[in-house]
Amino acid sequence: MPLTKATYSMIEGASFNVLDFGATGDGATNDRAACQAAIDAARAAGGGVVYFPPGTYLLTGVAGGDSTNNGLLVPYSSANDATDRVLLVGSGASTILKADSNSMYIVRYSDSHGGVESMTLDANGKTGVIGLGVVPEDTTQTSTLVFQNYNVFRNLYITGCAEGVTLRCGPDVSGADSGCWYNEFYSLKIYSCTRGIWLQNGPNASTSGVNRNKFFGGRVGQSGTNTGLQIDSGDTNEFHDVSFEGIQSGTSPNTTPTAVKIAVSGTYSGDNNSNKFFGGTCEANSRDLENANSYTEMYGFYAVTNNLLTANPLVMFGGFDSSSVPQIYPSQLYQSNSQIAGYENNLNYFLSSRGFKTNGIWMTRKTEGTGPGGSNTDFDFEFGYQAGAVYLVSRGGYDSAGTVYGHRVSVFFETSSGTFVEGTKIVDSVSASTSFATDTVTRSTAFVRVTVNVNKTATTFTNYATVIRLA
């Protein structure tokens, strides 16, 4: 019986083992051609797993469809056909794909329904290196629809790159969108990359954003990192328990090193709305958050350092220190636009005119400065008339140094529309030579009006009032 020569694929159980195609994994030999041959063979055979055993695979970049060279390329086949799909799998951090050229992708993944798992992508001190590009083969062409959808990337350690992970859509062609959508990323460790994750603008007008991708776990940052996550084009992406740490280096791509930066909209695509963050931590960054989109949502995402909010997120719930709004709910920060108009929630919501609501209790605080000697200040609170409503009203005035000269707290009963009966004052503190020249609670149509004038000769006051509807 003739003997069959054993292959690495037979021994290790993978469909296409790069060692069978001539790769050495010795860290000195250029293994690019051998590894690419394994990928091409998997594609020709109808798809499969390309396995990289432990070792260091040196990859010299070769010219591709645009100005950035390729280490390994998984080329585009189709958007939804389940055949010809290629999955690159290593043995964990001990499988190292190492760049041997400047300005190259270590892995350019340009197809759908595949992925990359369990390996290290190392820039090896080269410049302009992109660890993983989930991008078209040619990022500049505008004539052909291409899709990078439904891929799964997991357990990747990416180090020393100019860009750790980039995602980018192909072109709009006659009103139809290319896509970089519905990809999933698990447990990415992106260390010492100038920019960790970048959702890029597409190549032409009306190009889609990088949408509906999900990131689960992982860590971005450390020495040499200028930007953790930058969303230039993309909506409805989700980030679950992703941490950004030690982002303090350089002035490019952002003048202030920033953990998370979200633009209001893409250059060619629509608004970058509804990107969501669940959990996650920012630590030891020059700036934690720069947000320009008013529909960003953050749930328990801890970002407190030097934030630049040119637009308040739609939701910022939890993740902040308890001093933010202790009078509302410890450790929670509610923005004035955190509720979609017309959708009240019986647990809690915030409106600028009515304030915070929880289980039927509303509260808000308003202030207004007055000139020396005082003047009347009308504070209108958006509480419509309800028979038997009960209000807790706190009001008073303080000077420019923050010294309170007059402060009163009372319960008021609205016995009929516009008729308020004051109960016993809970607090009635008025300093010497100071008076409440005006202190009334009335109704103005759909508003409860608190009129306050704390008066002290030649003193400029800020009058204030807080109303809580108790029942």
Alpha carbon separation from 26 to 22, 50, 71 (Å, rounded): 12, 18, 17
Cα 87 to chain center, whole Å?
28
The C-alpha angle 197, 200, 202, rounded to 5 degrees, equals 155
* pLDDT value at residue 322: 35
208, burial (CB in 10 Å: exposed 0-12, middle 13-18, buried 19+): buried
Distance CA 102, CA 137 (A): 18
- Which residue type sits at 285? N
Q: Which string of b and e fits 303-330 if b means at least 16 CB within 10 Å? A: beeebeeeebbbbbbebbeeebeeebbe
Tokens representing 347 are 């647990």
Could you tell me the pLDDT band of residue 237, with boundaries at 50, 70 and 90? Answer: very high
Task: Decide which of 2.60.40, 1.10.238, 2.60.120, 3.40.50 is the CATH code for 361-469.
Answer: 2.60.40
Higher pLDDT: 382 or 249? It is 249
Average model confidence (pLDDT) across the chain: 86
DSSP notation for 170-229? --EETTEEPB--S-EEEEEEEES-SEEEEE---SSTTPPP--S-EEEEEEEE-TT-SEEE
Cα 325 from Cα 333, distance rounded (Å): 6
Q: At 46, which amino acid appears?
A: G
Q: How far apart are CA 284 and CA 332, in angstroms?
A: 21
pLDDT digits (tens, 9 = 90+) for 245-281: 999 999 999 999 999 999 999 999 889 999 999 999 9
Tell me the whole-structure pTM to 2 decimals: 0.70
469 pLDDT above the threshold of 50: yes
Q: Give domain limits for the chain.
A: 8-317, 361-469
Predicted local confidence at residue 130, as pLDDT? 98
User: What CATH number does the domain located at 8-317 have?
Assistant: 2.160.20
Please tell me the predicted confidence (pLDDT) of residue 453: 87
Residue 180 clears pLDDT 50, i.e. is over it: yes
**Cα dist from 255 to 221, 248, 251, 258, 290, whole Å:** 16, 10, 4, 9, 12
Angle value at C-alpha 139, between 148 and 88, nearest 5 degrees: 40
